[in-house]
Structure 1
Amino acid sequence: MPAPKLVSPTGKDIMLRPVRANAGVEAAYNKQLQRWIEMMHRSLIYFIQAQYRANPPPSLAQDAGWESFRDGSPANAMRRAMHRMSRRWMKAFDKGAEDLAKYFVDKAAGATDVQLKDVLKRAGFTVEFRATYAVNNAMQAAIGENVGLIRSIAQQHLTEVEGLVMRSMQRGRDLGDLTQELTQRYDITKRRASFIARDQTNKMTAVINRTRQQELGITQARWRHSHGGKQPRKSHVEASQADSGKGKIYDIEKGCLIDGEYIWPGELPNCRCTAQSIIPGLEN
């Protein structure tokens, strides 16, 4: 049974408070990603260091001759070790990605519904949200996207690490320099995971909120800038300042025309903008 269409009981439009991404959901998602990355990093460091010491590059091998190297050469031995470790960690991320993605999407969707329900209640409307085809479809799409992103964290990190290790072997660099480079790569991967957690929480909130708006018969909203982030998009700020600071009105189904394309708040990377729903008055 569809939710009732909302109409303001007065002759004036009602502006709802924006629904914002839940910081707790983002933190929980990021925490789990960081834990997996840390486990992978520690494992890689341990095995790479062990392999490096067992089969050092020729320039570090001192008096060792060619015949002393296992697997034909230090580079071959390291490459085979890296492939084994890569398969192991890709398998681990593949195994956990689906469950983590489902957990995150469920929590994000639930938090959005709870917040939107509270926003509506404060405006004088009592609404009970149900599982619908549209919401389920949005959630399934988000699960698929996040599974791919989680897998890409391991895939990208492992590819970069293998490149660093093989170049270090080729140049005959010592283990200290390599370990430092691996730590720098680890920091880059951690920052990427934090970005994914933040960006996907914003996107998930925006998608569920937009879907619920449409189910409630809300057709218009105002674009509101979050005033967060160090480098806000100028066009997004201008959209929020339009109409004497009330925010640019846009069609929820179509999106807001910004920079020559129709987009929704929270859709673009690092966008934290929100939608301020408009419940039309009786005269409208």
Structure 2
Amino acid sequence: MMHRSLLYFVQAQYRANPPPSLAQDAGWEAFRDGSPANAMRRAMHRMSRRWLKAFDKGAEDLAKYFVDRAAGATDVQLKDILKKAGFTVEFRTTYDVNNAMQAAIGENVGLIKSIASQHLTEVEGLVMRSMQDGRDLATLTQELTHRYQLTSRRASFIARDQANKMTSVINRARQQELGITQARWCHSHGGKQPRKSHVEASQSDGGKGKVYDIAKGCLIDGEYIWPGQLPNCRCTAQSIIPGMED
């Protein structure tokens, strides 16, 4: 939606205030304010303010939605594990879990806003360079479409990465409040380029997965980390319930 609006807006402004070389070719002798670049810059700033305001309003609701979904999925998964072990647990939003969720919401609000801010800044840069170089509208449109595709891929990566991190943090908080102190590292077998060390951790201990202290993290590549913490990590933690390993 933002891309279509931006494209329509930029095309309309570009036609109304073309670069000097295009304006001369079209027989234009004067500009509304004497400078097509200044007119475009002011128009871009007005449009950017409107979109940033819209993202400011919607960012927190969107972040809450993602965090709530991650928390719900985590609770269902952990309940299923406990049920198989003979335990029935009704999860509540405790202080630790709520704190983890609020921290995740805050981080996601910032990321959502940064995607919009960076995209708008890059769009303005493309438009102003196009004005300066006297490029035609078709070329500019292609560049804007390519920029949108790059932003979409970045947004998809951030959404996937944050979902993994949120699941990991909330799951860890749930495990600790239930008194579960250890877990096994499990590789998801997803992704085109899995980390070799993560696969090895999952295959250790006879293929059961490396055991680690939930509070401390798992020692991999010289540092203590948790599943889903690193970018593009889709690994998960398998809770170890004393007496129920077999």
Query: How many Å separate the matches in 2 of 1:156 and 1:198?
Result: 19
Query: How many Å separate the matches in 1 of 2:159 and 2:171?
Result: 18
Query: How many Å separate the matches in 2 of 1:160 and 1:205?
Result: 32
Give the structure 1 partner of residue 28 of structure 2. Answer: 64
Query: How many Å separate the matches in 2 of 1:244 and 1:121?
Result: 25
Deviations 1:42-87 (A, max 9, x none): 111111101111111111112323xx11223111111111101110
Question: Displacement of 1:244 after TM fit?
Answer: 2.3
Pairing partner for 1:141 from 103, 106, 111: 103
Secondary structure of the residue that 1:243 maps to in structure 2? coil
Question: Displacement of 1:144 after TM fit?
Answer: 0.2
Q: Which has the higher contact order (CA 8 A, sep 6+)?
A: 1
Query: How many Å separate the matches in 1 of 2:98 and 2:33?
Result: 52
Give the structure 2 partner of residue 23 of structure 1. Answer: none
1:221-236 aligned within 5 A: 221-236=183-198
Secondary structure of the residue that 2:189 maps to in structure 1? coil
Query: How many Å separate the matches in 2 of 1:138 and 1:71?
Result: 53
Question: Displacement of 1:173 after TM fit?
Answer: 0.5
Give the structure 2 partner of residue 48 of structure 1. Answer: 10
The yes-or-no answer on 1:204 pairing with 2:166 is: yes
Query: How many Å separate the matches in 2 of 1:103 and 1:240?
Result: 31
Question: Displacement of 1:114 after TM fit?
Answer: 1.8
Paired amino acid for 1:146: N
Paired amino acid for 2:28: A
State the TM-score, normalized to the length of structure 2: 0.95
In structure 2, stretches of 5+ residues that fail to align are: none
1:99-114 aligned within 5 A: 99-114=61-76
Paired amino acid for 1:120: L
State the TM-score, normalized to the length of structure 1: 0.83
For the aligned residue pairs, the C-alpha RMSD in angstroms reads 1.2
Query: How many Å separate the matches in 2 of 1:263 and 1:72?
Result: 59
The yes-or-no answer on 1:172 pairing with 2:134 is: yes
Question: Displacement of 1:245 after TM fit?
Answer: 1.7
Question: Displacement of 1:107 after TM fit?
Answer: 2.1
Secondary structure of the residue that 1:275 maps to in structure 2? strand
Deviations 1:175-228 (A, max 9, x none): 000000100111111111211221111111111111111111111111111000
Structure 1 segments of 4+ aligned residues over 4 angstroms from their partners = none
Secondary structure of the residue that 2:228 maps to in structure 1? coil
In structure 1, stretches of 5+ residues that fail to align are: 1-38
Paired amino acid for 1:147: V
Percent identity between matched residues is 87
Question: Displacement of 1:256 after TM fit?
Answer: 0.7
Query: How many Å separate the matches in 2 of 1:96 and 1:109?
Result: 20
1:1-284 aligned within 5 A: 39-61=1-23, 62=25, 63-65=27-29, 68-281=30-243
Secondary structure of the residue that 1:183 maps to in structure 2? helix
